């Protein structure tokens, strides 16, 4: 008589934080941008932060190893889960493969994933569907084509325009149409117009048009690509005079029902995420035409109709004149704000709130993340669980010479966040880390 099959338990968390690049269809024209050889290295280690969404009994699989001292610091703070990494890649063309492809090449981890109850990927990529099929989790991954489509900025802009929502961007599909759209915003008095790549990676997918000369150069750049047979797809919007940014975090279930998980205040550095934290309740309560719940219902219903289920982040903003733009962008995946919301849920059990921030830094040769953790501990700044305020270092792999990113969460009463962030920066500076921007 055969032994009964062991019940599946826990969730598996993994993912690639440059999902937009992998969703981007072949044959699309691109915006001018400076090469940033260090950016891919930083993005590759961001999956360390997924521990924030893990529960005891879950399995986190990262692309690279996580420093043992950092794992120990998280466990001391009460964040415990099983952890594996995909192993050292073999030299050759697959050395820079994303975590999904590395998992597909790792029979041992595939068996381990097959023994888990659920898949919780950061984002659903083409390889995620293959992985889900192989491990018996096909129901956890919506179709790759649908996921790629709804994550394009064109999809969310057309959704907003179709329903008459304020701030809808204009989708253009030729260089000539782009020029007309930009000028249509300049003529009423918008001094800066934004051209957004439909699948641009955060911080590198937006081009500011500040003059006719700059527009002329952009159009020439795109026409050269059109001549080579590339297709144009961009979203055009004015740069709004905003006073508040926030993100709403939803979960859409396979049956189409949905849940609002929470709302986060949002701050950006340029066009990249810089900080997420508690949002003033009065801000959301004052939103009208449409009311906030109505706008989120529209997004959730539209995503479900496309066949999507899973986590969603909807970026919104309030303008100086009181107008609110309910659907600036839809990200049908996990997000930094969503991870902070998970940290915040646990912090609130102890009367604290979570404030996640990240900033560019310069790292000295020979830097060791263990040393930074030791200094933070000596200064009484490390969060160690319970009601005492403190800081969690979220991504140790981003602190590698010469350029890196300091990514932390301060768990504290809201009025203590500025002090904790300043103290953490001071300790980082004493460890040789140079902040790219002063506080």
Do residues 213 and 246 both lie within one domain?
no
Task: Report the alpha-carbon distance of residue 191 to residue 280 in Å, rounded.
Answer: 30
Predicted confidence at residue 439, as pLDDT, reads: 42
Q: Could you tell me if 317 and 275 lie in one domain? A: yes
Considering the domain architecture, whether residues 135 and 15 belong to the same structural domain is answered as: yes
Q: What are the tens digits of pLDDT across the range 18-37?
A: 999 999 999 999 999 866 76
Tokens of 42: 């930083």
Number of domains in the chain: 4
39 and 125: one domain? yes
- C-beta of residue 308 within 8 angstroms of C-beta of residue 142: yes
- Domain of 322 in residue numbering reads as 242-332
- With respect to residue 6, please indicate whether it lies within any of the assigned structural domains: no
Is residue 158 helix, strand or coil? helix
Q: Is residue 174 part of a domain?
A: yes
| Domain assignment of residue 4, yes or no | no
Residue 339 lies in a domain: no
Which of 15, 19, 9, 90 lies closest to 56 in space, CA to CA? 9
Q: Which residues of 373-412 are buried (b: 16+ CB within 10 A; e: fewer)?
A: bebbbeeebbbeeeeebbbbbbbbbbbbeebbbbbbbbbb
Continuous H helices in 46-202: 68-76, 99-104, 107-114, 126-134, 144-150, 153-162, 175-186
pLDDT: is 39 or 323 the higher one?
A: 323
CATH number at residue 407: 3.30.70
Report CA torsion sign: 295, 297, 303, 305: negative
Q: Are residues 257 and 227 in the same domain?
A: no
Residues in contact with 114: Cβ distance below 8 Å, sequence separation at least 6, in sequence order:
134, 135, 136, 137
What digits encode the pLDDT tens for the residues 92-141? 445 567 899 999 999 999 999 999 999 999 999 999 999 999 999 999 99
User: What is the rounded average pLDDT for all residues in the chain?
Assistant: 92
Do 229 and 260 lie in a common domain? no
Q: Would you state the structure tokens that stand for residue 192, as one six-digit string?
A: 């800066």
Q: Among 49, 51, 82, 48, which Cα is nearest to 66's?
A: 48
Instruction: Please write the tens of the pLDDT for every residue from 256-297.
Output: 999 999 999 998 877 778 899 998 777 766 776 678 899 999
CATH of the domain at 255: 3.30.470.20
* Least confident segment among 270-274, 296-300, 391-395: 270-274
Q: What is the pLDDT of residue 393?
A: 98
Q: Decide if 151 is inside a domain.
A: no
Is residue 220 domain-shared with residue 258, that is, in the same domain?
A: no
Look at residue 131 and tell me if it is in a domain: yes
Q: Is the pLDDT of residue 202 over 50?
A: yes
Q: Are 263 and 190 in a shared domain?
A: no
Mean pLDDT value of segment 365-391? 97
**Residue 341: inside a domain:** no
The residue from 238, 268, 298 where one domain ends is: 238
Q: Is residue 289, in this structure, part of any structural domain at all?
A: yes
Same domain, 34 and 133: yes
Domain end: 238, 268, 287, which one? 238
Same structural domain, 193 and 262: no
The residue with tokens 């269809």 is 25
213: CATH: 3.30.1490
Indicate the residue among 176, 209, 238 that finishes a domain.
238
Are 208 and 295 in a shared domain? no
Tell me, yes or no, whether 28 and 60 share the same domain.
Answer: yes
Residue 411 forms beta bridges with which residues? 354, 390
């Amino acid at each position: 008589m055969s032994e009964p099959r062991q019940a599946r338990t826990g969730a598996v968390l993994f993912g690639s934080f440059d999902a937009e690049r992998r969703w981007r269809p072949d044959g699309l024209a691109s915006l001018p941008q400076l090469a940033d050889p260090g950016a891919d290295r930083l993005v590759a280690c961001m999956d360390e932060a997924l521990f924030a969404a893990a529960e005891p009994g879950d399995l986190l699989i990262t692309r690279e190893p996580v420093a043992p001292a950092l794992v120990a610091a998280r466990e001391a703070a009460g964040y415990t889960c099983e952890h594996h990494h995909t192993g050292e890649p073999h030299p050759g063309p697959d050395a820079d493969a994303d975590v999904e492809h590395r998992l597909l090449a790792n029979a041992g981890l595939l068996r381990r994933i097959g023994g888990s109850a659920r898949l919780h990927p950061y984002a659903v990529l083409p390889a995620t569907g293959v992985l889900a099929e192989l491990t018996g989790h096909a129901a956890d991954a919506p179709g790759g084509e649908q996921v790629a489509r709804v994550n394009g900025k064109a999809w969310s802009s057309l959704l907003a325009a179709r329903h008459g929502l304020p701030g809808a961007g204009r989708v253009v599909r030729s260089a000539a149409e782009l020029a007309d759209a930009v000028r249509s915003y300049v003529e009423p008095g918008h001094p800066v117009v934004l051209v957004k790549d439909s699948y641009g990676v955060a911080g590198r997918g937006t081009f500011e048009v500040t003059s006719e000369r700059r527009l002329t150069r952009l159009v020439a750049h795109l026409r050269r690509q059109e001549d080579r047979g590339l297709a144009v797809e961009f979203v055009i919007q004015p740069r709004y005079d905003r006073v508040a940014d926030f993100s709403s975090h939803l979960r859409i279930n396979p049956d189409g029902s949905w849940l609002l998980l929470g709302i986060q205040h949002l701050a950006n550095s340029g066009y990249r995420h810089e900080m997420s934290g508690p949002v003033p309740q009065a801000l959301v309560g004052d939103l009208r035409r449409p009311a906030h719940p109505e706008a989120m219902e529209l997004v959730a219903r539209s995503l479900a109709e496309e066949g999507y289920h899973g986590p969603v982040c909807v970026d919104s903003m309030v303008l100086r004149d009181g107008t609110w733009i309910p659907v600036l962008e839809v990200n049908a995946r996990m997000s930094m704000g969503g991870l902070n919301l998970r940290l915040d849920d646990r912090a609130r059990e102890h009367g604290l709130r979570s404030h996640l921030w990240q900033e560019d830094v310069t790292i000295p040769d020979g830097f060791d993340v263990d040393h930074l953790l030791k200094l933070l501990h000596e200064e009484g700044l490390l969060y160690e669980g319970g009601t005492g305020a403190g800081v969690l270092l979220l991504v140790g792999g981003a602190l590698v010479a010469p350029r890196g990113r300091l990514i932390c969460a301060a768990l504290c009463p809201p009025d203590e966040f500025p002090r904790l962030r300043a103290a953490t920066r001071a300790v980082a500076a004493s460890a040789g880390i140079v902040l790219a921007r002063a506080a």
